[in-house]
Structure 1
C-alpha cells in the first residue's frame, strides 16, 4: 500500500521514545509498503543523513515552529485548543503537506502522535476527499495530563503547575475526542490506553500496537565501555529530560529515595542520562551522589554497566520504551507501578515494583545486596522482551488497521 506517515520529529537518529517508535515502525513498514514521510525538523536535524531517505519514496520536511513563552501564555487564555495541538502547527508546513497530498494521493495517512493531528484535521476542514486515516496514539493524552494534574495537586509547591494541567486536561479532552471521531482506526500502545480511548469514542476501531525494542541493538552480550567512575552502586535512569514526568520522577528519587540508600553501606550514585535536561534539574548538579549527563552518543554502555535501572515515575501514560531497553540489556529494574503500567509483568519476576519512597529504597537495596537474584531477574526480563516486544512481532499489528 501507499502510506503517508506524519511524524512530529525526524525519526533518525532514534534517540528517545517518539523517534525510536517512529523509526522502527518506518523501517518495518517499508519492507512491504511504499512510504512517503512528512516530518517536522528540530534544530540540527540532518534529514539527508542516515537511512531514512532510502526507506521512503518521497520525503517532505518543515522546520518546527518557534513558540515563545509569551505566545504560549496567550494561547493558554485565548485558544480553545490544547498546547499539544498548537506546538507544531505552521501554515507554510500545512501548505507543503497539502500540495504533496494533491500531487501524490496516498491510500493511508498515518498520524504519529497528537501533535500532528492539526494537519489532518485541517485537511478535512478543506473538504478534500481523504483516504483512510490511522492515528497512532503514543499516549492517551487526556489521561496523561490528568495524572500530571493529580500528581501536582498533592504538592503545594506544584499548585501553579496543577492549575495549568487542569486547563490543559479540559482542552485535551475535547480535542482528543474530536480527533478520535475523525479517524478510521487507532493504534494504542497498551491495553489500558486502548480502553481509555474506546470510552472516549465508543465504536472506535482500535488495536494495540505496543512499543518495541531492537533486540540486536540492545544486546547484553555486546562489548560496552564502562563509563562509570564511581566505585559503589550505580543506579541509572534514562529518558528525555525536559519531559515533565521524567523530571518529576528523578527529582523524587534523588530527594526521597536516594537519601535512604545513602544511609546504607551501598554507597549509591544516581545517573540521569538523557538529552535536554530541564532547569529544574540544576539543583542536582552540585550533589556528589548525582550525575546529570545531558545527551550522550549511546545509552547502551550506561545500561550495560548499571547495577540497577530505576523507573521512579509518578505520572505519565502509555508504555515506557526505557523499560524495554533495560530489560533487553538484562538489567534488574525497580519501577513504580505507574512506570510499568501497560506491561503484563509480575512483581519480583521481570522487575520489582514499589510506590512509596521507603518501599522503593528497600527494593533497590535488596537487589543491590543480592547480585545473583538481580542477575536472574535481568535474564527473565530479557526473555520477556524476546517473547513479546521485538518489532518483527509488532509491525503486523499496525498493518491490521490498514
Structure 2
C-alpha cells in the first residue's frame, strides 16, 4: 500500500466528461489498496465533496475554488507576451492551493505525487522551487507521476492544420500554431521533471518520446465502467425515433465542435438523400455558439446537458464519431462499444484502442465514405447487431477499469 497525493483540475465527480471519468475511476480503483489524499480545484457549480462518494474513497478530500476564467483580452496578451502556453495559465496562481500543497508535502510522507493533466503542472513547477520539495526528493520517498490525459502538443498541431484548410477559421489556426510551439517546449519540460509519465495511448506515448526521447512513459489507457454501460442498462430515450445518429460529448470542446459541424454540413445531407428520416442527435453540455445555427434544423437536435447520456446512446441506431482533430483517446468510443452499439468513426476518432474496421466498428475518413458506411448500416440490422456484439466483447475483454488500474499501480514501483 502506498500513500498518494493526487492533484486534479476539477472535483472528479460526477464523472460526466473525459477528465472526470478518468480521474474518478482511477481513484475508485486505487482506493482499496492505497491511502489517497485528493487536492482539487472546483467550480462554484460543483457539488460539495461531502455530497460525492469521494470522502469514502480518500483519506481526505480538499477542494479549493478554481480561478475565474481569464477574459479574452488577457489570453491574447499572454499569447503575445509569455512563452507559457495557455494551458499553463488557465488554472495557475491560486495561492491557497499552493499553500495547501506545500503543507501536505511538508507534513505527510507521500510515496507518489500524481498530477492529473497538464493544467495542474504549474503547481508542480512552483513546488519544485520550494525547499520542502528538495527535502522530500532527497529523502527518496516522493516520486512525481505526470498523467498526461492528451499529448497536448499533438492536439494543437492537428487542430492548427485542420483549421488552416478553412479561411474562416484562420484566426483559430493562428492561435493553435502559437500554442503548438509553446506546448512543445512546456510539455517536454514537464516530462523531464517527472519521474514517470503516463500516456493514454501508444500514439500519445510516441508523441511524448519525440518531445523528450529519454522519458519513462507508460501507457495506461482510458477505460469504461462495464456495469454502468452494460447493453441492458436502461431504455432508450423516449423522444428518439429511428433512424437516430448520435454523437455525445462536451460541446464546447473544439474537436467535438468541429466533428459535429462537419457531420451536420457534409455527411448528414448525404445520408438523408438515402434515408430521409435520419435524425442527428448532438448530446452534451454547453453547446458552443458555433453550433447555434444547427438548432433550427429539423433534422438535428442539440440536447444540451442531460442527466444521463446512456438512454441516448442506447437509442442510437448508429453512433458517429466524425473526428478530424484531437489527441489521446475518446471515452465516448468505449461507452458506445460497451453498450453494444454500431459505431462509425474516422481513423483518428478510434485512435489508440486497436480497433479494426469491420470487426468492432466501421472506419471512414472522407465525408462521402463516412456517409456511405452509415447508410449501409442503417439498411442492415444484422450487420449492426454483429458489430455491436463484437464491440461489447472487445470492450469487456480489454477496457474495464479493473484491468487498467493495475497498470497504473505498476508505475508506482520504485
TM-score interval for Structure 1 and Structure 2 normalised by the shorter chain: over 0.9
**Unaligned residue ranges in structure 1 (runs of 5+):** none
Secondary structure class of the residue paired with 2:5: strand
Tell me how far 1:228 sits from its aligned partner. Answer: 2.9
Shift in Å at residue 388 of structure 1?
0.5
Query: Does residue 1:75 correspond to 2:78, yes or no?
Result: yes
Name the residue aligned to 1:175.
Answer: 186
Answer yes or no: is 1:357 the counterpart of 2:367. Answer: yes
1:237 corresponds to: 247
SS at match of 1:326: helix
- Could you tell me how far apart the structure 1 residues matched to 2:228 and 2:163 are? 36
Provide, for residues 244-273 of structure 1, a one-character-per-residue CA deviation record: whole Å limited to 9, x for no partner: 000001000000000111111351110001
What is the aligned partner in structure 2 of residue 299 from structure 1?
Answer: 309
Residue-by-residue CA offset, 1:148-191 (whole Å, 9 max, x unaligned) = 00000111111111100000001101100110000000111011
Query: Following TM superposition, by how much is the alpha carbon of 1:44 offset from its aligned partner in structure 2, in angstroms?
Result: 1.0
Give the one of 381, 391, 398 matched to 2:401: 391
Stretch deviating more after TM superposition (360-369 or 128-137): 128-137
Mapped pair 1:343 → 2:353: yes
Give the structure 2 partner of residue 319 of structure 1: 329
Residue 42 of structure 1 and its aligned partner are, at CA, apart by: 1.6
- The Cα RMSD (Å) is 1.1
Aligned counterpart, 2:148: 137
1:207 to partner: Cα distance: 1.2
1:225 is displaced (CA, Å) by 4.3
Could you state the TM-score of these two structures normalised by the residue count of structure 2? 0.95
Is the alpha carbon distance of 1:229 and 1:386 closer, same or farther for their aligned partners in structure 2, counting shifts above 3 Å?
closer
Q: Unaligned 5+ residue runs, structure 2?
A: none
Distance 2:64 2:165 in 1: 40
Cα distance in structure 2, aligned partners of 1:367 and 1:186: 40
Within 5 Å, give how 1:231-270 maps onto structure 2.
232-270=242-280
Number of equivalenced pairs: 401
Q: Does 1:109 align with 2:113?
A: yes
Q: Distance in 1 between matches of 2:247 and 2:240?
A: 16
Shift of 1:102: 1.8
Q: Indicate the residue corresponding to 1:35 in structure 2.
A: 36
Deviations 1:29-52 (A, max 9, x none): 111000000111022112221200
Residue 103 of structure 2 is aligned to residue 94 of structure 1: no
- 3-state secondary structure, aligned to 2:50: coil
Deviations 1:217-261 (A, max 9, x none): 00102232433343x410000001111000001000000000111
For the residues of structure 1 that align with 2:174 and 2:214, how far apart are their CA atoms? Answer: 33
Distance 1:225 1:179 in 2: 44
Aligned positions of 1:253-292 closer than 5 A: 253-292=263-302
Question: Please, which moves more after superposition, 60-69 or 161-170?
Answer: 60-69
> TM-score, normalised to structure 1's length?
0.98
How many Å separate the matches in 2 of 1:292 and 1:226? 14
Contact 1:240 1:275 in 2 (8 A): yes
> Which residue of 2 is the match for residue 124 of structure 1?
128
Residue 64 of structure 2 is aligned to residue 62 of structure 1: yes
Which residue of 239, 244, 247 corresponds with 1:228? Answer: 239
Question: Any conservation in 2 of the 1:146–1:166 contact (CA below 8 Å)?
Answer: yes
CA distance in 2, matches of 1:227, 1:147: 38
How far is 1:305 from its partner? 1.2
CA contact (8 A) 1:227 1:302 kept: no
Is the Cα–Cα contact under 8 Å of residues 136 and 187 in structure 1 kept in the other structure?
yes
- The residue that corresponds to 1:329 in the other structure is 339
Contact 2:319–2:341 under 8 Å retained in 1: yes
